[in-house]
């Protein structure tokens, strides 16, 4: 995997796990000892994380280290949603947004 693609995949996975853990970037940054800006850059594939921070990141998210590198799960869902949303009309997107809000409120 190319470095650029790896950083992007890692960032998508990090955001996915952070959202799953219901953590803000600020809260995760505080737990790991990084700045919020750094977390944002990692999630957007602009920065990589140093090797020694990986276990701290996993601990902050409450997952084993290997879960940070299971890219297929989060990528496939995102790609599927992107394709569905690309083909949807505005009215359908508004309906989908309302459904997502309801589902997220159920947590």
Q: Is the per-residue pLDDT at 1 higher than 80?
A: no
Which one, of 66, 72, 64, 17, lies nearest residue 43 by Cα?
17
On whether the CB atoms of residues 5 and 75 are closer than 8 A, the answer is no
CB neighbourhood size of 66 (10 A): 8
Query: What does the mean pLDDT of the chain come to?
Result: 86
Structure tokens at 16: 């996915």
Question: What pLDDT does residue 3 have?
Answer: 60
Q: How far apart are CA 5 and CA 22, in angstroms?
A: 26
The CA distances from residue 53 to 44, 58, 67, 85, in Å, are 17, 9, 15, 35
The per-residue pLDDT for range 13-63, each reduced to its tens digit, is: 999 899 989 999 999 999 999 999 999 999 998 988 889 999 999 999 999
In three-state secondary structure terms, 84 is helix
Q: Say what the pTM is.
A: 0.66
């Amino acid at each position: 995997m190319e470095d650029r693609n790896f950083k992007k995949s890692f960032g998508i996975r990090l955001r996915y796990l952070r959202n799953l853990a219901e953590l803000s970037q600020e809260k995760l940054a505080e737990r790991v000892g990084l700045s919020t800006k750094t977390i944002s850059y990692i999630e957007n594939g602009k920065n990589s994380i140093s090797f020694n921070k990986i276990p701290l990141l996993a601990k902050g998210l409450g997952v084993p280290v290997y879960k940070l590198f299971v890219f297929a799960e989060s990528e496939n869902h995102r790609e599927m949603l992107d394709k569905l949303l690309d083909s949807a009309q505005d009215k359908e997107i508004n309906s989908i947004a309302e459904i997502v809000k309801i589902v997220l409120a159920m947590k």
